[in-house]
Structure 1
């Protein structure tokens, strides 16, 4: 695999084990979703549930953000098409899919057009070419699909951080 294992031990302090594997060999379980003409992978570990919103679930918070009531919680909504500047099939929340995501104890909803299925995904790092364009918002890597299409793998924590900073762009 071309990885390394580093084991450090100190008497009375314990042992630490560091395992390094090339990013191109990391495999995650992911949910393939579509927003407009683009497909993305969301790590399953971050997905709590998915749902279709009803109009009575949708409201605007005092700070002007869209929120959705899921059970007893009001969760902010991030529209994936706005984050990545693609044209969606639907702008109305009740016509798409809301995916409840969790990162470090906080939840939010990601609005997408369609769930396409669950699959194992090989993570590839974003190339230096892509990185030259600056921060690719909310993306941790990419994968190459069977048909040769490149799909971005979403970084849920990064999306949440952007939401907490007050913007999705």
Structure 2
């Protein structure tokens, strides 16, 4: 059984399960999502992608404005085979930071820098020699300054485009 089918079979058991699956911070506060709610959102995303005619050989980019929407969008692409897991490499030598944040009330105290330094130390301990911080906005001056202080430099720039996925 491949990883996509294994995960979806595990998640199917979440039908009607009210226990916590995801907790995230949003602009308006903390949001908790039950396993049942997450399963419904994953199925909704999978159906939206499938009705667009996407097939196993296609690839999608998952872009989410809120942390709560990333997980179901990513997991919704799994049953369609749209997410490729790289299994061939046994030893990782690079790290990619997808998301990290400091609550607004704690910003400006150097916590970002401490987090990057701790992450860098942990990666070096695992034999990783380089890293990449993804999705850092150009106007996020605090994070860009912290990355610069630990030796980071801009190597790529991305543009984001949006398009609805629903088949309404």
TM-score by length of 1: 0.22
Give the structure, 1 or 2, with the largest relative contact order (CA under 8 Å, sep 6 or more): 1
Q: Which has the higher helix share?
A: 2
